[in-house]
Amino acid sequence: MALALLGSTALTAVTAQAADKEISWIYCGDTIDPVHTKYIKQWEEKNTGWKVAPEVVGWAQCQDKATTLAAAGTPVAMAYVGSRTLKEFAQNDLIVPVPMTDDEKKTYYPNIVNTVTFEGTQWGVPIAFSTKALYWNKDLFKQAGLDPETPPKTWAEEIEMAKTIKEKTGIPGFGLSAKTFDNTMHQFMHWVYTNNGTVIDADGKVTLDSPQILAALKAYKDIVPYSEEGPTAYEQNEVRAIFLDGKVAMIQAGSGAADRLKATKISWGITTLPLGPDAKGPGTLLITDSLAIFKGSGVEDKATEFAKFITSPDVQSEYELQGGAGLTPLRPSAKVDEFVAKDPHWKPLIDGISYGGPEPLFTDYKGFQNSMIEMIQSVVTGKAEPEAALKKAAGEVEAFK
């Protein structure tokens, strides 16, 4: 009996040891991407005794689940999160830093690493990236008497063309997103970053109340009459659906719009986002999702190693460049050059990166986001003038940094 108990105890110890070598991963989505499945297996084969255990959780619940488990003291090793939340996780001591060497940083396009950095430290590994460009309907341009091959290069041209299209065809010239939805703030940030604006600087100072952002808010007000009726009822995917139906002439959208447009009869073009008066070059909001390494799992170092492997250049480019993935590449490479040469619509989405900027990192990101949405909606609906709306929002977001 003693020998039997000893054997049982030893078996339990071995089982516990094996469990200690598991990297649990909250994976957002409906299914695991086949590229990730392939490379998880490859990594496990090279790391004997280690197992990666992804748990697929729907987009609406995945980040909340990771947060709840971490706050309860039972964290997963790693989770797919929006980079906008990294500051809040870090300041609540729920994640560990994921420092990058200078060589690692240099592999990314400019400003990408800034999306996961605050106080000089990286807190996640980018795994998904999106940018926006301007799409235009060449048929509607032609109907309005505009050159279908010449899209707007500046905000002033964009507003004037939207006005001409609306007056000549009766069809909205621009698709404006102003619904109570997170991407309403994102859509506005594209205007901020095409006018050399910032919301919060590297030292954590709120810079929202600036001439650059005021100009963006005034441009929003100016384009409202030539946009779809009732923009507060639409978020960006709903605006995209109107564009795909030929019922709006210009929209800001990512690579997913190009994939869908190829299945339509619309004659369309894509270019970098029009520039504001203070722009230094083509810009866009740089949105990344990241792998965050949670504190207290006991496998932080190995989880960091795996996170860097599954987002390494060869693996990541295979994941990004699948047809229909809807992602902008995180890094320049010969593969990306080949991809762009084959499908030129990618070029404007990449060209905007150089002067693009990150989602502003706030401790209370939702509070910040809600203030920005309220500011945008108050101007779009005419309830407030841009100057007053901007000052109000700037005062509010101080509490969220």
* Res. 157: pLDDT tops 90: yes
Which pLDDT band holds residue 18 (cuts at 50, 70, 90)?
very low
Residue 4 has pLDDT above 80, yes or no: no
Q: What pLDDT, in 10s, does the model give residues 47-58?
A: 999 999 999 999
In a domain, 73, yes or no: yes
pLDDT of 8? 40
Least confident piece of the model among 71-85, 231-245, 311-325 = 311-325
Q: What is the C-alpha separation between 131 and 10, in angstroms, rounded?
A: 54
Which pLDDT does position 326 carry in this prediction?
Answer: 72
What's the token pair of residue 334? 């010969």
The tally of domains found in the chain comes to 2
Residue 15 lies in a domain: no
Q: Is the same domain home to 95 and 145?
A: no
Phi, psi of 50 (to 5 degrees): -110, 140
User: Residue 22 CB: number of other CB atoms within 10 A?
Assistant: 16
**Are 113 and 183 contained in the same domain?**
no
pLDDT at 60 over 90: no
On whether residue 233 sits in a domain, the answer given is: yes
Do β-strands 268-271 and 133-137 pair in parallel, antiparallel, or remain unpaired? Answer: antiparallel
Tell me how far apart the alpha carbons of residues 201 and 196 are, in angstroms, rounded to a whole number. 12
| Helices and strands, number each (H, E), in the chain | 17, 11
> H-helix or E-strand containing 391?
helix 386-397
Query: Distances in Å between the alpha carbon of 369 and those of 42, 221, 319?
Result: 40, 19, 30
d(CA 70, CA 375): 33
The model's confidence at residue 339, banded by pLDDT at 50, 70 and 90, is confident
Residues 263 and 296 in one domain: no
Instruction: For residues 81 and 210, state if they share a domain.
Output: no
Closest by CA to 127, choosing from 78, 188, 57, is: 78
Residue 323 — very low, low, confident or very high, per pLDDT cuts 50/70/90?
Answer: low
In angstroms, the CA 377 to CA 399 distance is 21
Query: Is pLDDT at 11 greater than 80 in this prediction?
Result: no
Statement to judge: residues 56 and 110 lie in one domain:
yes
Would you state the pLDDT for residue 261?
Answer: 94
Beta strands per DSSP E along 12-68: 22-28, 51-57
- Check whether residue 180 and residue 35 sit in a common domain: no
pTM greater than 0.85: yes
pLDDT in tens, 119-132: 899 999 999 999 99
- Does 105 lie in the same domain as 43? yes
**Per-residue pLDDT at 12:** 41
Asked if 152 and 140 sit in the same domain, the reply is yes
**Residue 4 belongs to some domain of the structure:** no
Residue 382 domain-assigned (yes or no): yes
In this structure, is residue 87 part of a structural domain?
yes
Return the CATH number at 143: 3.40.190.10
| Domain-embedded: residue 1 | no
DSSP string, 109-178: PTTTGGGGEETTEE--EEEEEE--EEEEEHHHHHHTTS-TT---SBHHHHHHHHHHHHHHHSS-SB----
Span 64-91, pLDDT tens digits: 999 999 999 999 999 999 999 999 999 9
Q: Is residue 55 part of a domain?
A: yes
Start-to-end CA span in the chain (Å): 63
- Is pLDDT of 2 > 50? no
CA angle 151, 157, 163 (to 5 degrees): 100
Tell me, yes or no, whether 276 and 337 share the same domain: no
Residue 20 in this model has a pLDDT that exceeds 90: no
For residues 56 and 24, is the Cβ–Cβ distance under 8 A?
A: no
Domain residues for the domain of 309 are: 20-129+285-355
Q: In the predicted model, what is the mean pLDDT of residues 349-364?
A: 93
H or E stretch at 80: strand 78-82
Say how many C-beta atoms besides its own lie within 10 A of residue 74's C-beta: 11
Does pLDDT of 321 surpass 90?
Answer: no
Q: Please state, for a pLDDT cut of 90, what percent of the chain lies above it.
A: 86
The reported pLDDT for the residue numbered 324 is 57
Q: Which letter, b or e, does each residue of 126-135 get, where b requires 16 or more Cβ atoms within 10 Å of its Cβ?
A: bbbbbbbbbb
Are the C-beta atoms of residues 44 and 51 closer than 8 Å to each other?
yes
Residue 325 pLDDT grade (very low, low, confident, very high; cuts 50, 70, 90): low
The pLDDT mean for the chain works out to 92
Q: How many CA atoms lie within 13 A of 52 on its CB side?
A: 28
Q: What is the pLDDT of residue 28?
A: 94
Q: Are 54 and 306 in contact (CB under 8 A)?
A: no
CA distance 11 to 342: 56
Which pLDDT value is given to residue 123? 97
Q: Is the pLDDT of residue 15 over 50?
A: no
Helix (H) or strand (E) holding 358: strand 357-358
For residues 240 and 323, state if they share a domain.
no
Across the range 204-218, mean pLDDT stands at 96
168 and 114 within one domain: no
Residue 341's CB: how many other CB atoms inside 10 A? 10
375 with 227, same domain?
yes
